[in-house]
């Protein structure tokens, strides 16, 4: 077989494997959500999720380290996306106004992700997920603060950068919570509104 043909076959096989892996991951997420909604997050086991998805328990753990990870599977991608959006923002000032559009774009990305509303509803409603949710918030806030620090060529975020990152993420999460209550609302629009209200609070009464 010619080298070029061999490379084509290898790439085709790799593409097929990746599609199969993506299909299994998606099935595990969907079946998990179905079971969590029906019985409650705390009452569903990994074995039950695997059975519902038609795979083994071992297969589940090849895709997710813990049961809760089926709800947070895009944490790393979301963090990377936010850092990239902030790094390429038009307004390079370090203010809430300057961070509004990057977070609005992140909201648009999240709203279009698989089962976004169902996942966020479960995350907010399950008390046993509070610590995992807080961990995700810290990861995203820290990554944002480090990106802000890098803009002044530092590896350590200042107090102002840490505070700004926390406020920006808080605005975004407040919008996601509101999105759960207003089923027909746009998450990007709610995110923009959250930033505007936060800036009004900071400015005080007029």
| One pLDDT digit (tens) per residue for the chain, 206 residues | 555 554 444 455 557 788 889 899 999 999 999 999 999 999 999 999 999 999 999 999 999 999 999 999 989 999 999 999 999 999 999 999 999 999 999 999 999 887 899 999 999 999 999 999 999 999 999 999 999 999 999 999 999 999 999 999 999 999 999 999 888 899 999 999 999 999 988 776 65
Are the C-beta atoms of residues 93 and 155 closer than 8 Å to each other? Answer: no
**170: containing domain:** 75-203
Do 193 and 173 lie in one domain? The reply is yes
CA angle 179, 85, 69 (to 5 degrees): 55
Q: Count of CB atoms within 10 A of residue 24's CB?
A: 17
What kind and span of H or E run contains 105? helix 96-111
Choose among 141, 78, 143: nearest CA to 110: 78
Per-residue model confidence (pLDDT) at position 3: 54
3-state secondary structure 125-159: HCHHHHHHHHHHHHHHHHHHHHHHHHCCCCCCCCH
Closest CA to 31 of 9, 17, 52: 52
pTM of the full predicted structure?
0.85
Q: Coil, strand, or helix at residue 55?
A: coil
149 and 183 housed in the same domain: yes
Work out how many domains the chain is built from and give that number: 2
One domain for residues 50 and 82: no
206: DSSP letter: -
Determine the pLDDT at residue 204: 67
Residues 168 and 199 in one domain: yes
Please indicate, yes or no, whether residues 196 and 171 belong to a single structural domain of this protein.
yes
Residues 143, 79 share a domain? yes
Residues 154 and 96 reside in one and the same domain: yes
- The CATH number assigned to the domain holding 24 equals 1.10.10.60
Same domain, 159 and 142: yes
Tell whether 114 and 24 lie within a shared domain. Answer: no
Contact 110, 78 (CB under 8 A): yes
């Amino acid at each position: 077989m010619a080298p070029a043909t061999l490379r084509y076959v290898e790439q085709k096989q790799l593409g097929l494997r990746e599609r199969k892996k993506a299909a299994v991951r998606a099935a595990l997420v969907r079946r998990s959500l179905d079971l969590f909604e029906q019985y409650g997050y705390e009452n569903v086991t990994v074995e039950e999720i695997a059975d519902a998805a038609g795979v083994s328990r071992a297969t589940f753990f090849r895709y997710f380290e813990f049961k809760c990870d089926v709800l947070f599977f895009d944490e790393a991608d979301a963090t990377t996306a936010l850092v990239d959006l902030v790094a390429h923002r038009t307004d390079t000032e370090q203010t809430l106004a300057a961070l509004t559009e990057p977070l609005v774009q992140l909201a648009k990305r999240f709203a279009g992700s698989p089962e976004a509303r169902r996942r966020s509803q479960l995350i907010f409603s399950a008390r046993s997920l509070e610590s995992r949710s807080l961990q995700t918030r810290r990861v995203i806030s820290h990554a944002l603060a480090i990106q802000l620090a890098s803009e002044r060529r530092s590896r350590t975020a200042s107090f102002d950068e840490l505070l700004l990152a926390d406020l920006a993420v808080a605005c975004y999460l407040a919008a996601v919570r509101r999105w759960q209550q207003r089923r027909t609302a746009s998450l990007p629009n709610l995110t923009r509104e959250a930033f505007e209200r936060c800036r009004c609070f900071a400015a005080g009464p007029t």
